[in-house]
Amino acid sequence: MENNQSELEYELKRLEDTIALAKKQLSYEKQRNEINKAAIISAKKELRENTSHTISGLWSSDGFEALAELSQYANPITEKIVDYEEVENKIALLEKLIQSPYFARIDFKFEGEDMFEKIYIGRSSLMKDNSYEMCVYDWRSPIASVFYRFVTGQAFYDAPAGRITGEVSLKRQYEIKKGILEYYFDADVQIVDEFLRKLLSQNNSSKMKTIVETIQKEQDIVIRDMENDLMMVQGVAGSGKTSIALHRAAYLMYQGLSTKLSANNIIVISPNTLFEQYISNVIPELGEDNVISMVFEDMLAAIIQNRRIQSRNQFLESLITSSGYRSTIKNSIEFKTSHQFMEILNLFIYDIPYKWIEFEDIYYDGQFIVSKEILKEKIIGRKEVPLGVKLKHLEDFIVDLIYELKKIRINNLAKKEILKFTELDIIELYQKLLRDKEYFYTLAKDFEIPEDMEDILVYTQENLNSNLLFYDDATVLAYIYLKIYGVNEYKNIKQVVIDEAQDYYYLHYVIFSLLFENSKFTILGDINQTLGKKEDMTIYDQIRKILSKKKSSLATMDKSFRCTNEILTYSSKFAQQCMEIKSFNRKGDEPGIYARDSQSSLNDLIMTEIKYCKDKGYQSIALICKTEKNSLSLFTSLKDRIDVQIMKDDSTTELQGVFIIPVYMSKGLEFDAVLICDADNTNYHSEDDKNLLYIASTRALHRLNLFCMGEASSLL
């Protein structure tokens, strides 16, 4: 008892000293930035007073000296602003650190040493003043990996200088909130599991949380992997894939202190904008600036400009709800994003200068300049140069010829005539490929094509003539564009993180390989959560071949930390791939199936369930429907009875309170309670629908129930 008291006194004193040190450094940094702010204001004033020149005159030949003078005053301002922003980041980190300086401690004795050193681990590091002695180690530091990977006894970690071996005599975890030590415990595996169970049993917030306190050994290995150019993770629902991806991004930036990797060198490709918002706070909480985050259709829109593009959510809604066209929609995207169609496109792209560009003799002001044969010959040569680049060079060649002969600059009217064959309309070219059926089938003669190819061609022509460019055609057009013009964007990206990997097709990964040719990849997926197609473990072999990286690895996460035992057992019946899913052994209520004969009585039952969940203190209660159409119908029925939000394709509302959401938008998210509200046999009856039920049911942390009008789905 006396020993326990002395330990508590030590820990309280240690916490007090740590917070005092952080407060001292915070005060210093705030004073430093007050000086910076004053210096910036003073420098701006000096700039205004000493540079009287107008901006419009700076770029003339007479304005060169004025421009140099302006630069002389502007550069110090820029430097001071950069310094100010760096200090502001330090201030933000220190303010967070004061609230909770660390969450763990290991006592580690280095090999050859006599004494154990107390290593405290937090979200960010804290160094003692005027020394290199660490008061708190960042969770991403090499020595911190010992906490995640070893129990007491012999241990090691890999540092830049090589492998460091030693012994762990103590593992301790802390709960510190608002600078107050609430409790601590000395951790063995059993206690850590109990601590994690306690954290998982707490009601969810509207944002994804960091998991630094509870990272498991297999998760830590993936997060810290620096060996592989391609790191793939197949993880069951609730295994922490997304958290691992974001913690890995934060870890890579920490390592980037030595490899010059920063936030603008990493891109996270998210399944939708709602998911982007959900994950938005994780990396900043881990002590880093937010990385670049995009959804795939935004990347398509950046390539194919001036056309509105169907989002993936809109595509899925169309696929799920279109009864007559469903097989055509499904077969269309499967074929257009296949390896076979890519090869057909490659033949078509090769043919463009031979068959689809109408070269003309060039005249200017009545004088012959150059023949169409010479122009065509210049384009057909140099196979290694992208066609778009060659056409740009050809344009420059014509303009230079005219200048040499006429000694005048080309006028705009003549420039437009040249652009008729040096600028390509990608959509028009694609339409020509599909309209000329004899030509199309000639290109496709050596490849397997769908039986309903004629239906796909008609369906595609209708789509291309509409105001909305469909998701599958946008993918094809992006590929054609990249093959013709090459890649200029994303040159600075060194690390790419792709979530929901199973929902991308062959051609998507080819586009990723073109856009991020020199990047490393972290790719995470779950084959049981595939939408719109069938998928199995061979997808990871396919990804490995397409991206063609020197070193790659596939990790499998088979333990779910999200759901209770009962929810996980119930959800497993919908998993189509034979894969063992291990539970974290957290108990809860059995899911129930509730049917009513009328919509009004079903709505009453749903209202009763919502009230129960609110009384339990659940912060996020999701009413999941199969489609947006069903979601809108339910919203209309309930909106006058309860404060409820509806999630649509462009929603960015926080996931707090009661809301209605289509199942395909719920991917990657988690909620305290889930009500599947349209679980009848009409909505859920096919093999594809089993995947939807698996996704919907595995969103629930604590409570899951299913509701339907009439006959319940035979899949339940």
Residues at the binding site for ATP are: 235-242
167: helix, coil or strand? Answer: strand
Rg of the chain in Å (alpha carbons): 30
Beta-bridge mates of residue 153 = 168
575: helix, coil or strand? Answer: coil
| Closest of 31, 16, 530, 72 to residue 319, by C-alpha | 530
Beta-bridge mates of residue 582 = 559
Which residues does 426 contact at the CB level (< 8 Å), separation at least 6? 304, 477, 480, 481, 484
Q: Please calculate the CA angle 464-465-469 and round it to the nearest 5 degrees.
A: 40
**Residue 140 structure tokens:** 């991403």
**Residue 681 structure tokens:** 């046999």
**Residue 361 structure tokens:** 């003799």
| Closest of 523, 514, 557, 517 to residue 541, by C-alpha | 523
Q: What residues form the annotated binding site?
A: 235-242
Beta-bridge mates of residue 357 = none
Other CB atoms closer than 10 Å to residue 417's CB: what's the count? 14
Residue in this structure with the two tokens 């013709």, named with its chain if needed: 484
Residue in this structure with the two tokens 């809860």, named with its chain if needed: 588
Q: Is 415 exposed, middle or buried (0-12, 13-18, 19+ CB in 10 A)?
A: middle
CA distance 137 to 141: 7
Alpha helices in 651-714 (DSSP H): 687-697
Alpha helices in 260-309 (DSSP H): 273-279, 282-285, 296-303
**Residue 325 structure tokens:** 């066209």
Alpha helices in 465-531 (DSSP H): 471-485, 506-515
